[in-house]
Structures are given as C-alpha cells and as structure tokens.
Amino acid sequence: MKSRSIQYFRIILWIGVYSLIITLLVSTGLRLSMLSDFRATHNWPSTSSIDYKYARYPIMTLAHIIPGALFILAGVFQFNRTFRNKHPGVHKRIGKFYLLLGCIIGITALIMGITFQFGGIVETIAVTLFGLFFLYSLIKAYYYAKKKNFMMHREWMIRGYSLGLAVATMRPIIGLFFALTDIAFSIFFGYVFWLAFIPHILVAEWWIHYTRKYRKQSLQNKRAT
C-alpha cells in the first residue's frame, strides 16, 4: 500500500517538477532575449527597474542564469531511476557537471543578492541563507557519494534540487502579487524568496522522510541480490 502511494505522489511531484522546469526555461529565454535587445538598441531600462540590475551586470547575469538552466535540466537525468540504473557511468559524469553548475549558480546568487539586490535587506538575508544551504546541500551530496552512502546522497541531492527549482516558483508568486496587490515590486520582491523557498524545503523534507523507510528497504534488497 505504501509503495502504491509513493508511486502516486512521485507522479504528482514529477508533474510539478516539469512544470517548474518549463517555467524556468521560458523565463531564462526571455531574460536572454531582453539582454540581447538592451545591448543591440542601447535602450536601457529605468534605473529603478530590476531589469536595470541585470542589464548593468550582463556577465554576472549570464553566469547565473545559463548554468541555472543547465543545472535544472541535468537534474532530470540525475533523478531518473531508469537512466541512472542503465547508465551508471554517465550518471556519475553528469553528477560532477551538475555539482559544478550548482556551485556556480550558488556563488553567483550570493554575489548578486548581496552586491546588487533589488528587494532590500529582506532579499539579501533570504539569498544568503538559502544560497548557503543550497551550497551546503551540494557539498553533503558529494561527500556521501564519495563515501558510497547513496541513501544520504539521495536525500541531500533532493534538498539541493528542490532549492534550485524554487527560483521557478518565484515567477507565479510575483504574478500573483502584481495581479492582487498594489504593493511596489521593490517592496514585495524580497518576500517572494521566502514564499517560494520555504515551501520547497518543506516539500523536500516531507518526501525524504516519507520515502526513507521504503528506500532503505530497497537498498537492502539490492545488496541481498
């Protein structure tokens, strides 16, 4: 019965993951197009606009959003059990690339959140806390992979990937703020980080604890065979 419910929830989670991936890829494409237009036309956005921050620091922006998109796509292969079981060597190589991408986006997120933040101190605190926890999750995932403790490796990978996906959840939340409130973007933007990242952390922890006993039994069965 538990196995069936896990399959049911796994389907729901993957639907959510793919929806967020599409959201993030569309957002990345729009951001790249915007940067290209700014450079081509020299029609720079207002200094009070968040777009001005991205346009002013294009290299940092590109160093963050392109690895971010690749990180999210690489994660799909890393968490695909069929692919992982059929191609363990490829899984390992992609995993190293995945962790490198994660370190790049984590470090650039910290730099951007501290040096040219748009949402004030609320954004800076959120980016610092979640950015450090994201990097910590990747380090722990790598550590347990080297120790061949794949149970713990999986759990820390889930935490890191969930935090990476939280950036996509920010998009619809921002849309809701614009649609339902008159609050200035610069005021609510910092709070959006908290509204997106905290639910992702909670869902990740719920899934980890919900599947832990099942995964432990599965690993024991594999060792027995």
pLDDT averages per 10-residue partition of the chain, 225 residues: 78 95 95 86 77 84 95 94 91 95 96 85 94 98 95 96 97 94 90 97 96 70 51
Q: To which H or E segment does residue 175 belong?
A: helix 150-180
Q: Give me the pLDDT at residue 162, please.
A: 98
The amino acid present at 6, given as its one-letter code, is I
Q: Give me the pLDDT at residue 216, please.
A: 65
Residues 16 and 221: beta-carbon distance below 8 Å: no
Question: Cα–Cα distance between 94 and 97 in angstroms, integer?
Answer: 5
Q: Give me the pLDDT at residue 117, please.
A: 76
* Domain of residue 165, residue span: 2-224
Q: Give me the pLDDT at residue 15, please.
A: 95
Specify the number of domains making up the chain. 1
Q: To which H or E segment does residue 98 belong?
A: helix 88-115
What mean pLDDT value characterizes the chain?
Answer: 90
Q: Give me the pLDDT at residue 7, please.
A: 86
Total residues found in the chain within this entry = 225
Question: Cα–Cα distance between 105 and 167 in angstroms, integer?
Answer: 11
pTM of this prediction? 0.88
Task: Fill in the DSSP letter of residue 24.
Answer: H
Residues 159 and 201: beta-carbon distance below 8 Å: yes
Q: Give me the pLDDT at residue 43, please.
A: 80
Torsion of CA 190, 193, 196, 198, to 10 degrees: -110
